Amino acid sequence: MKDALLKIKSLAKDELSKVNDTKALEELRVKFLGKKGELTSILKQMGKLSPEERPVIGQLANQVRTEIEESLTNRVKEIKALMLQKKLKEEELDVTLPGSKVTIGKLHPLNIVLNEIEEIFMGMGFDVVDGPEVEYDYYNFEALNLPPDHPARDTQDTFYITDNILLRTQTSSVQVHVMEERKPPLRIISPGRVYRSDAVDATHSPLFHQIEGLVVDKSITMADLVGTLELLMKRLYGDDCKIRLRPHHFPFTEPSAEVDVMCFNCGGKGCSMCKDEGYIELLGAGMVHPKVLANCGIDPEVYSGFAFGLGLERIVMRRYGINDMRLLFENDLRFLNQF
Amino acid sequence: MDLSMKWLNDFVYVGDKSIKDFCYDMTMSGSKVEGYTPEGKDITNVVVGKVLSVVPHENSDHLVVCQVDVGLEQLQIVTGAQNVNAGDYVPVALNNSTVLHDGKPVKIKNGKLRGVESNGMLCSLDELGLTIHDFPYAIEDGIFILGDDCDKTLGKDIKEAIGFNDTTVEFEITSNRPDCLSVLGLAREAAATYGIKRTLREPSYNGVDGNIDNELSVEIQNPKLCSRYIAGIVKNVKIEPSPRWMRERLRASGVRPINNFVDITNYVMLEYGQPMHAFDLRYVNGSSIIVRNAEQGEKIVTLDGEERTLGEEMLVIADKDKPVAVAGIMGGEYSGIMSDTTTVVFEAACFDGASVRKTAKKLGMRSDASSRFEKGLSPKNCYPAIMRAFELVEELGAGEVYNTIIDRDCSQVNDNPVEFDPKWINSFLGTDIPESDMIEYLQRLDFEVRDGKCYAPYERIDIECKADIAEEVARIYGYNNIPSTIIKGVAEARRTPEQRFIKSVQSSMVSMGLNEIETYSFISPKYFDKISLDKDSKLRDAVKIINPLGEDTSVMRTTIIPSMCETLSRNYNYRNMKASLFELGNEYIKTAEGKLPNEPIRLCIGMYDSEGSTDFYTLKGVVEELLDSLSIADYDVKLAGNDCTFDEYSAFHPGRVAVLIKNGIEFGILGELHPLVQENYDIGTRTYIAKLNVPEMMTLADTDKTYKPLPKYPAATRDISLVCDEKIPVAVIEKTIKSAVGKTLEKVTLFDVYKGEQIESGKKSVSYSISMRSHDGTLTDEQADSAIKRVLKSLKELDIELRG
């Protein structure tokens, strides 16, 4: 009987090693360990054994069962691993085939850059404020120290709706609304559409976007204006960016400045991009004119402030190297998809 | 303003600076330089030569061969010109020189002309870039024979020899600084920029005895528009070209020399910034000058030969019968200086800027004079200007100046000093400039500082308040020396709810694959027809631009839809196969007369797909998902009919257009474009458009979100298939199911709509999966089944049956 057990053991091990799939393995398990299996049938003969032999054979039988079970388990693991390996190998893909198309849309480049500028200013505590595009003459000109027949009105060719209603030529009109409606301290930017009767070409559009900035508080200085613009330009163009202020004239600021940024192309040496200037004109700015403060009911003896106006198209075009402003309003998908 | 550097150097010496540095320094101190042009920059290697002999060319009747002495050598030059004689001094273009031909630079090289060697070229004025206005004694189409006003040193560079070596600097002068539209004004700026001295001289003249009052009277009828008028008389005038130095300076300043008197008025205008006028006394009828408003409809032929019809608000200089000049803008044709003029009246006057500007604009004529007057000039400038004119008349020997003048001065002179407060200036600029430095800067600019006050020179009409003084200090101190500081104090920024709402619309649209567009806010009124808008739609009553660039951009859009259609059309025609676009833009809706329009913001969505996978439900899916993301729920969707509040309804396919309604508010319309509209836009595939009213959507959004506990008990799901009339919208069925199930309803999902075989014609089969769940315990089969029974009962009342 002992021999029979050992024979089963070696037979089982032998057959197990030859089996290569889980189904055959199951058959083997039934054959050796099942209720009608070979081991069971031997164990059924236990009763015929002497009391002395019974524990010895019993122990051996258990040992053989355990060993067969272990071999079986190991073999299952081995076969599963083999099969997995085979499956993985079969499933190999051409990873260079293109991915399935998921489409995400894009914001208009003007708004991509505007969002960035808004973030920069909100980080400095500037609220974003809107204002009407169709506007009274008063807000666009008169309150900004541009009375009727002021020569500076000539520089902004204006679309008129009636004698005293027009399409705003500058977002500066929002300054007046804000100062009328809120009390200092004020820190706002106001992006929006402005209109000038310029015929369409590569650098002109009768409609474009400006971003107005206004800060009014006690003891706001021109140095604060410089600091704010410097920060803006560094955020927009990197820490190496340098700005330069040139005296200029706007009726609603005094002192007034035009602000240039160092040419990105030549780093200030002068090239064809900056017309040999080394700098590129980017925006107008200045200290809010005391008359404008007074027009809006703010005492210029107590408060001071600064204001600036950025042309969004110019910044966007420079950012992406767009050489024709018309592209921004044509909305050709082949253009829009590039940003 | 074109500035002659030679002229400037008369007053302030900047010859030691390079022209580039000068331009930069002036720009940085506030006089912006646009560019500079050295005279004759394209003329090189051309020298003075003397013609020694002229003999006919052996092979040509119209060529001659000249021997020319150019100093170091003698050259043989062939020329076609007929006006060259032995002994003439001429410009000689040497081998490898450049001259102008038809305004473009060309190289001159030694060569042969009809077999005869020619080692250079004799030049005409044109080839040097000059005209006979510059050298009136020259002839138009011949070699320029140098006159006695030229340096005849042989071999001398021609530009130096004839005074064609000035440099013109082009300044962009802002409208507040008419004082800088003059050589003297820029000389002041240059001196202040460098902190150097400048030479000033009061003009003076000797004059001849003569009482002007016997010859002329001046009356100002409207002292508001003419605050000062000075007249002087020059007798026995000799009209001739002005001398070379004067012609040179005018040329470098961009003004064409005419004759001595016209040139003197221009010269004084350029030097002093004071426009002047010269009349022929013969044509001043009644010898009286009257400064008055024109009569309505009165006519004058101006110097440019145009007849102008005047209005009564315009100011004219008139004699007793007729206007002889439009004040401050242009003289009349018949009163100007002629070659036989014997007595000249000089005028130096001060006219109201706004009036000049209005008149010039209305008449459509601007002149150098009007562009100065309209910015506002000081009446004080008239006197030195006319004195300078007299001085020049005497210097040029052009006539005899009366030693009496008429000066009608109605100007109110007030010095209006501005407070000088160095502490305030520093606190305003954020600087720490010592008071003494400030005073020095101001003095450089000819300001007087005394007793805590600043007195600006009278030409500086722009100086009104302390901020103006701060600017003067800052620009001489240097804007770029102002430190950079951070605004004091903390401020908190936040977006308004509307801005946040718009941002989330944008991000939902983008995440669903739509591209954002930006279109013009003005459109053509024809676009209303293009979208088939009803003839009497209120949307046709648009805000109109009085002075549009063209019809295409002449009205403010009352609907955003045409802008989207145009964009889709453009993309389709660019062969972009597929487009899904959105725009967030304003419409402009008229309110009361004389009031501003409303500018409500709209979301417009537009899509097409030439390959056909986009349909009505694609668009609807996008809109549904958007509304879900904005927390707008429980809205109704219905087929739009004639009663739709959106007038654009007519632009859509009548069977494929829906309105979105919540709380009785129609807040959006979506659908397929009407085939005819689609055709109008030249789009060859079905096109889908939605317009959603953003402000309304904001009010409908449920912004208060509260957490609902996750379900503890399993859901019971039942699928049912129904048969009903095909005209019944599924929304009706869904509503019935919802109310019949009641509060255990979790979700109703439509999973099939079928028409065709096995279904009676005119009917359709719709299948729903109904999921129910209770928060109090597991629903039993009985509970679920009885809910379904209730559903079927309610549906039956609507003739909707369970599919057998």
Give the confidence band of B240 by pLDDT, cuts at 50, 70, 90. very high
Contact B582 A336 (CB under 8 A): no
pLDDT digits (tens, 9 = 90+) for A28-59: 888 888 888 877 877 777 778 888 888 888 88
Shortest Cα–Cα distance, A227 to chain B (Å) = 4
Mean pLDDT of B625-642: 92
Any idea what the CATH number is for the domain that residue B326 is in? 3.50.40.10
DSSP string computed for B434-498: -HHHHHHHHHHTT-EEETTEEE--TT-TT--SHHHHHHHHHHHH-GGGS---PPSS-------HH
Give domain status of residue B271, yes or no. Answer: yes
Please give the pLDDT value at position B416.
79
Q: Which of A135, A148, A258 sits opposite B596 (nearest CB)?
A: A135
Shortest Cα–Cα distance, A95 to chain B (Å) = 25
Mean pLDDT of B250-278: 95
Q: Which of A133, A256, A330 sits opposite B521 (nearest CB)?
A: A133
Tell me the chain B residues in contact with residue A162 when contact means C-beta distances shorter than 8 Å: 546, 594
Are residue B369 and residue B449 in the same domain, yes or no?
Answer: no
Give domain status of residue B296, yes or no. Answer: yes
Mean pLDDT of B404-426: 90
Give the confidence band of A266 by pLDDT, cuts at 50, 70, 90. confident
Contact A255 B375 (CB under 8 A): no
pLDDT digits (tens, 9 = 90+) for B549-567: 999 999 999 999 999 999 9
Q: Which of B357, B518, B574 sits opposite A108 (nearest CB)?
A: B518
Shortest Cα–Cα distance, A240 to chain B (Å) = 15
Higher pLDDT, B712 or B514: B514
Domain boundary among B667, B700, B733: B700
Shortest Cα–Cα distance, A339 to chain B (Å) = 10
Give the confidence band of B202 by pLDDT, cuts at 50, 70, 90. very high
Contact A187 B574 (CB under 8 A): no
Tell me the chain A residues in contact with residue B546 when contact means C-beta distances shorter than 8 Å: 159-162
Tell me the chain B residues in contact with residue A257 when contact means C-beta distances shorter than 8 Å: 479
DSSP string computed for B342-389: --EEEEEEEE-HHHHHHHHHHHT---HHHHHHTT---GGGHHHHHHHH
pLDDT digits (tens, 9 = 90+) for B738-766: 999 988 999 999 999 998 888 888 899 99
Give the confidence band of B336 by pLDDT, cuts at 50, 70, 90. confident
Domain boundary among B669, B700, B731: B700
CA distance readout (Å), A310 to A33, A167, A326, B793: 87, 18, 19, 67
Please give the pLDDT value at position B82.
86
Domain that holds residue B189: 2-39+167-194
Any idea what the CATH number is for the domain that residue B749 is in? 3.30.70.380
Give domain status of residue B655, yes or no. Answer: yes
In the DSSP assignment, the letter for residue A248 is E
Residues 469-508 of B with CB under 8 A from A: 470-471, 474-475, 479-480, 482-496, 499, 506
Shortest Cα–Cα distance, A148 to chain B (Å) = 8
Give the confidence band of B534 by pLDDT, cuts at 50, 70, 90. very high
The mean predicted confidence, pLDDT, of chain B is: 93
Shortest Cα–Cα distance, A108 to chain B (Å) = 5
Q: Which of B27, B374, B547 sits opposite A160 (nearest CB)?
A: B547
Q: How many domains is chain B built from? A: 6
Q: Which of B29, B571, B594 sits opposite A247 (nearest CB)?
A: B29
Buried b (16+ CB within 10 A) or exposed e, A85-102: eeeeeeeeeeeeeeeeee
| Coil/strand/helix, residue B663 | coil
Please give the pLDDT value at position B431.
96
Does the beta carbon of B586 lie under 8 angstroms from any beta carbon of chain A? Answer: yes
Are residue B34 and residue B50 in the same domain, yes or no?
Answer: no
pLDDT digits (tens, 9 = 90+) for B245-254: 999 999 999 9
Length of chain B: 804
| Coil/strand/helix, residue A97 | coil
Kind and range of the H or E run holding A285: strand A279-288
Q: Which of B30, B431, B516 sits opposite A108 (nearest CB)?
A: B516
Please give the pLDDT value at position A76.
86
Whether A1 has a pLDDT exceeding 80, the answer reads no
Does the beta carbon of B781 lie under 8 angstroms from any beta carbon of chain A? Answer: no
Are residue B553 and residue B687 in the same domain, yes or no?
Answer: yes
What would the two tokens of residue A281 be? 């004109």
Shortest Cα–Cα distance, B1 to chain A (Å) = 16
Distance, in Å, from the CA atom of B48 to the CA atom of B156, rounded to the nearest integer, reads 5
Please give the class, per CATH, of domain A109-336: alpha beta
Contact A254 B549 (CB under 8 A): no
CA distance readout (Å), B739 to B21, B624, B724: 85, 22, 19
Are residue B608 and residue B726 in the same domain, yes or no?
Answer: no
Tell me the chain B residues in contact with residue A230 when contact means C-beta distances shorter than 8 Å: 484
Mean pLDDT of A259-278: 83
Q: Cβ(A161)–Cβ(A200) under 8 Å? A: no
Tell me the chain A residues in contact with residue B599 when contact means C-beta distances shorter than 8 Å: 132-134
Shortest Cα–Cα distance, A54 to chain B (Å) = 56
Any idea what the CATH number is for the domain that residue B95 is in? 2.40.50.140
Give the confidence band of A299 by pLDDT, cuts at 50, 70, 90. very high
Are residue B605 and residue B520 in the same domain, yes or no?
Answer: yes
Residues 298-357 of B with CB under 8 A from A: 353-354, 357
pLDDT digits (tens, 9 = 90+) for B121-132: 999 999 999 999
Tell me the chain A residues in contact with residue B359 when contact means C-beta distances shorter than 8 Å: none
Length of chain A: 339
Please give the pLDDT value at position A19.
81
Which chain B residue lies closest to A122 (C-alpha atoms)?
B493
To test the contact with chain B by mutation, choose from A119, A129, A134 the residue with the greatest count of B C-beta atoms within 10 A, namely: A134
Contact B174 A249 (CB under 8 A): yes
Kind and range of the H or E run holding B781: helix B781-797
Please give the pLDDT value at position B11.
96
**Largest alpha-carbon pair distance within chain B?**
131
Contact B174 A291 (CB under 8 A): no
Phi and psi for B754 in degrees, rounded to 5? -140, 135
Contact B518 A111 (CB under 8 A): yes
Whether B224 has a pLDDT exceeding 80, the answer reads yes
Give domain status of residue B620, yes or no. Answer: yes
Please give the pLDDT value at position B757.
85
Does the beta carbon of B423 lie under 8 angstroms from any beta carbon of chain A? Answer: no
Shortest Cα–Cα distance, A126 to chain B (Å) = 5
Please give the pLDDT value at position B77.
93
Are residue B625 and residue B507 in the same domain, yes or no?
Answer: yes
Shortest Cα–Cα distance, A291 to chain B (Å) = 9
Tell me the chain B residues in contact with residue A330 when contact means C-beta distances shorter than 8 Å: 570
Mean pLDDT of A176-180: 94
Please give the pLDDT value at position B359.
93
Mean pLDDT of B62-79: 92
Percentage of chain A exceeding pLDDT 90: 56
Where do we find the tokens 């051996």?
Answer: A60
Where do we find the tokens 């006159």?
Answer: B147
Where do we find the tokens 């592209």?
Answer: A327
Which chain A residue lies closest to B482 (C-alpha atoms)?
A223
Please give the pLDDT value at position A143.
94
Rg of chain B over Cα atoms, rounded to whole angstroms, equals: 42
Q: Cβ(A195)–Cβ(A159) under 8 Å? A: yes
Higher pLDDT, A16 or A77: A77
Percentage of chain B exceeding pLDDT 70: 100
Give domain status of residue B487, yes or no. Answer: no
Give domain status of residue B597, yes or no. Answer: yes
Are residue B746 and residue B691 in the same domain, yes or no?
Answer: no
Are residue B519 and residue B565 in the same domain, yes or no?
Answer: yes
Which chain A residue lies closest to B359 (C-alpha atoms)?
A149
**pTM confidence score:** 0.86
Distance, in Å, from the CA atom of B433 to the CA atom of B469, rounded to the nearest integer, reads 13
| Coil/strand/helix, residue A87 | helix
Any idea what the CATH number is for the domain that residue B25 is in? 3.30.56.10
Any idea what the CATH number is for the domain that residue B520 is in? 3.30.930.10
Each domain of chain A, given as residue ranges in start order, spans: 2-90, 109-336
Are residue B779 and residue B682 in the same domain, yes or no?
Answer: no
Distance, in Å, from the CA atom of A287 to the CA atom of B429, rounded to the nearest integer, reads 9
Tell me the chain A residues in contact with residue B572 when contact means C-beta distances shorter than 8 Å: none
Q: Cβ(B46)–Cβ(B164) under 8 Å? A: no
Are residue B453 and residue B578 in the same domain, yes or no?
Answer: no
Are residue B791 and residue B761 in the same domain, yes or no?
Answer: yes
Give domain status of residue B483, yes or no. Answer: no
Are residue B604 and residue B683 in the same domain, yes or no?
Answer: yes
Pairing of strands B276-280, B307-309: unpaired
Does the beta carbon of B602 lie under 8 angstroms from any beta carbon of chain A? Answer: no
pLDDT digits (tens, 9 = 90+) for B132-157: 999 999 988 899 999 999 999 999 99
Q: Of B472, B227, B255, B190, whose CA–CA distance to B373 is shortest?
A: B227
Q: Which of A126, A154, A223 sits opposite B482 (nearest CB)?
A: A223
Give domain status of residue B710, yes or no. Answer: no
Tabulate helix, strand, coil % of chain A (nearest 5).
45, 20, 35
What would the two tokens of residue A324 be? 């024709």
Shortest Cα–Cα distance, B165 to chain A (Å) = 24
Which chain B residue lies closest to A304 (C-alpha atoms)?
B428
Contact A215 B487 (CB under 8 A): yes
Contact B521 A193 (CB under 8 A): yes
